Structure 1
Amino acid sequence: MRVREETMIDRDQLPLLLQVARAYWVDDRSQADIAAEIGYSRSMVSRLLKQARELGVIKFSVGHPLERAFELERALTDSFGLAQVRISVEDAEQDASDAARLAAGLLGEAIGSDCVLGMTNGHSVPAVVHAMSPLHRPNATIVQSIGTIARENNSVDSPEICRELAQHLGASYRLLPAPLVVRSPRVAAALRREEAVSMTLAMAGHADVMLTGIGATTRTDDGVIFDNCITPAEHDGLLRAGAVGHICGHHVDGRGHHVDSRFCQRLLAVPFERLKGIPTVIAVAWGRGKAPAILGCLRGGLVSALVTDVPTAQAVLALDGA
C-alpha cells in the first residue's frame, strides 16, 4: 500500500485520528505496531498523534476523586493550623462508613501504649469505634468524658462506646457515674464534689487524646445529645448569646469562645478550659448544617485534628471566607 503523507484534517480523516489515538493512548500499542496495521509510516503515525492532541481528538486529564479531598485537607490545615485532617469523598450524611474508617485510622495512630483516651457521645463517635480494627493496647485507659444520656438507644451513649472501644484495644475503661444534664446547677456542683465523678472528670481533662463530635445549635435544634434536656428559654438564651454549636457538651460561639450559660452549669462533662490542654483532640463531624459549629471550634483552637466530608469542608471554608 502506498504510504500517504496527508497532514490536513477533514471529516474523512477524523476516524483515522480516532483509531490511531485510541490504539496508542488507550490500548497502549506501539507506534510501529499501529503503522504496520494501518499502512502508514511510523513517522506519519507520530504526526497523526501530534495532530490528534492539537485538534482535541485526545485530551489528557490528570486527577483522581481524592484530589479534591486532598486540596480541602491542605486548605483546612493551612487556615487553622490543624495537625491532621481527613476528608471523605463520600457524603457522610448519606453514608458515614468512609469518614468513620478515616477517623478510625487516625485514632489508631494516636493511641499510644499508655494512652489515656477521652470519649464523648453522639452518632459520629460510635461510628468511628465500630470502624476500629482490634489493637493491642492493654495499658491504655478509655475515659468517659461526658455524662450519660440514659436513653433507650444506648449505642450512642458514652458508657457503651467506652466499653466497645476498650474491647477493641484490650484496654481498661473508666465510666462517669453521672447524667449529662441534671435539674439545677446546685445538683451538678454537688455531683462534681463526689470522688468518683471528680476523679473521672479530672482524668478526662488530662487525657492524651480526646475523640469527640461537634453538635450544631440552630433555631430549632441542639443535637441528639441534648434532646429534651434544654428548656425553650435556655435554648433561646444560648442563641442570643451567640451559640452556634457545642463540643464535649459545652456551647461555643462563632469564634470558639465558651458560652457559659445556666444550662452549662447543669452539665457534667470534662471542663471546657481543659480542652486546649489536651495534646490531641480529634473531632469527627459532618453535615453542612454543622459548618458554623465546626468553624467556631476551629477558630477557637479547640481541636487539633478534624475528620469530615467534602461537602462539609467546602461549607466550612466558604463560611470562613464570607
Structure 2
Amino acid sequence: MPLGDEEVGMEVAEREQDVLRAASMYYLQDLKMEVIARHLGTSRSTVSRLIKRARETGLVEITLRPASTRAPGLGRTVAAAYGLDAYVVPVPDSAGQVERLDQVAMTAARLLSSWFDSDMVLGVAWGTTLATVSRFLAPKPTRGSAVVQLNGAANMRTSGIEYASDLISSFGTAFGAAVHHFSVPAFFDFPETKAAMWRERSVLRVLDMQRRADIALFSVGAVAGAVPSHVYAAGYLDDEDVATLHAEGVVGDVCTVFLRADGSWRDVGLNARATGPTPEELVRVPRRVCVVAGDNKIAPLLAALRAGVVTDLVIDELTATRLLEHAGGGPARRGRGRRAG
C-alpha cells in the first residue's frame, strides 16, 4: 500500500537526520565509517552515501586554507579600501582564466546559498560569470522566495530568451523559488520605446519585483579580454555603439548600464536605452554581490566600486592583487553608501 503524505514526510525527515548524524560523527568526532555504520545500524556504503549527500546539499562545506596564500591579507586590504565585505579566493599564480573563474564562481555559489533564504527576493543579472556561478549551485529548498531577472536579454540577432531564461531558471530551481523573467530587449532602439514599455503592467510587475530584491547578484562587463563579456560578444551592440562607448570613455558595465572609469553613468547616451537597473536604483538593494575574475575586469570593477554599487565582492587572489595595484586616481565611494552616478 502506498505511503501517505505524512508518512513520506516522516521518512524524508528521518533520512535527513541520518545525514546529519553521519556527517557529525565523521567530521566532528573523527569516527571511521565502519564505526558510524555500527552506530546507525547500517552498512559502510550507506554511510559513505550519507556523507556524500551532506557535502552535496551544503550541510558540510570544506574549505582549504593554504599557509602561503595572500588571500586573507588581501581581503582585509580591499575591504578597508572600499568599505565593503571582500571574499578573496586563493588561486595558484599559474592559474588560467577559466580556473580562476571556476574557483570564484564556486565560492560565490556557496556564499549565496548561505545568504539567500525563505521569503527573500534575489535579483540576478545574466552574463558569462553568472552562468558559471549557476553551475555550482547546491540545492537549498526555500519557501515563499523569488528570483527575478535584472536586465533584458533580446538583441539584434536573437530573442535572448533561451539564454537568459535558462540561467535565471537555474537559480530558481536551486532554491525552489518562483522565477520572474524580464522579457524585454537588453537595449531598446529608442529611449521613447523604453519609456512606453515602462508603463506596461507586465513590465511594471517585474520592475516592482526588482525593487523588492534583498540580494542583487551581478558581475562587471569588460569591453575586451581573454573571456569577453557576453554583452560585447553576442550581438548586443553594433560597431557604431561600441565606437560611441569608447568615445565617451566607457570602461565596462554593470547590469548592462555603462560606466566610465570614475563611476559616472548618467550622461552616457546608450544608458537611456538600457533595461538594467541604474547604479542609483541598484544601491537600494541591501546586499549587492559582485563576482569578478580576470585582469580584464579590473577597470570596470574599479568603476563599479567608484559608483558605490558593491557591498560584497567575491574575487580571485590574482585579480585582487591587480586591483590594488591599479587603484590610483582617488578614493572609491563606499560600497554601502546610497549615492551613485
What secondary structure does 2:97 align onto? coil
What secondary structure does 2:326 align onto? helix
Residues 92 and 258 (structure 1), Cα distance of their counterparts in 2 relative to 1, 3 Å cut: farther
What secondary structure does 2:244 align onto? helix
**Whole-Å Cα distance in 2 between the matches of residues 112 and 174 of structure 1?**
17
C-alpha contact 2:119 2:145 (8 A) present in aligned 1: yes
Query: In the TM superposition, what whole-angstrom CA distance separates every residue of 1:210-269 from its partner, at most 9, and x where no partner exists?
Result: 0101011359x9832243332333323322322111001111122222253332122222
C-alpha contact 1:282 1:306 (8 A) present in aligned 2: yes
State the match for 1:189 in structure 2: 195
Residues 104 and 233 (structure 1), Cα distance of their counterparts in 2 relative to 1, 3 Å cut: same
State the match for 1:115 in structure 2: 120
Amino acid at match of 2:105: A
What secondary structure does 1:204 align onto? helix
Equivalent of 1:242 in 241, 249, 263 = 249
Higher alpha-carbon Rg: 1
What secondary structure does 1:161 align onto? helix
233-242 or 66-75: bigger deviation? 233-242
C-alpha contact 1:215 1:246 (8 A) present in aligned 2: yes
C-alpha contact 2:128 2:229 (8 A) present in aligned 1: no
Residues 65 and 251 (structure 1), Cα distance of their counterparts in 2 relative to 1, 3 Å cut: farther
**Whole-Å Cα distance in 1 between the matches of residues 278 and 306 of structure 2?**
19
State the match for 2:75 in structure 1: 73
What secondary structure does 1:157 align onto? helix
C-alpha contact 1:214 1:294 (8 A) present in aligned 2: yes
Query: In the TM superposition, what whole-angstrom CA distance separates every residue of 1:20-53 from its partner, at most 9, and x where no partner exists?
Result: xxxxxxxxxxxxxxxxxxxxxxxxxxxxxxxxxx
Task: For structure 2, list consecutive stretches of 5 or more residues without a partner in the other structure.
Answer: 1-64, 330-341
State the match for 2:104 in structure 1: 99
TM norm structure 1: 0.73
**Whole-Å Cα distance in 1 between the matches of residues 68 and 303 of structure 2?**
26
C-alpha contact 1:104 1:132 (8 A) present in aligned 2: yes
Query: In the TM superposition, what whole-angstrom CA distance separates every residue of 1:153-188 from its partner, at most 9, and x where no partner exists?
Result: 969933211111111111111111212122222222
Query: In the TM superposition, what whole-angstrom CA distance separates every residue of 1:53-94 from its partner, at most 9, and x where no partner exists?
Result: xxxxxxxxxx93563111211111111011242324154613
Residues 156 and 276 (structure 1), Cα distance of their counterparts in 2 relative to 1, 3 Å cut: farther
Equivalent of 2:323 in 296, 312, 316 = 316
State the match for 2:184 in structure 1: 178
What secondary structure does 2:76 align onto? helix
State the match for 1:54 in structure 2: none
C-alpha contact 2:89 2:103 (8 A) present in aligned 1: no
C-alpha contact 1:253 1:259 (8 A) present in aligned 2: no
State the match for 1:267 in structure 2: 274
**Whole-Å Cα distance in 2 between the matches of residues 101 and 315 of structure 1?**
21
State the match for 1:201 in structure 2: 207
**Whole-Å Cα distance in 1 between the matches of residues 190 and 197 of structure 2?**
11
**Whole-Å Cα distance in 2 between the matches of residues 167 and 274 of structure 1?**
27
Task: For structure 1, list consecutive stretches of 5 or more residues without a partner in the other structure.
Answer: 1-62
Residues 301 and 126 (structure 1), Cα distance of their counterparts in 2 relative to 1, 3 Å cut: same
Output the aligned Cα RMSD.
2.7
State the match for 1:168 in structure 2: 174
162-171 or 201-210: bigger deviation? 201-210
Whether 2:84 is the aligned partner of 1:82: answer: yes
Q: Which runs of 4+ in 1 moved over 4 A?
A: 150-156
Provide the identity percentage: 25
C-alpha contact 1:201 1:269 (8 A) present in aligned 2: no
TM norm structure 2: 0.69
Equivalent of 1:292 in 292, 296, 299 = 299
Length, aligned pairs only = 260
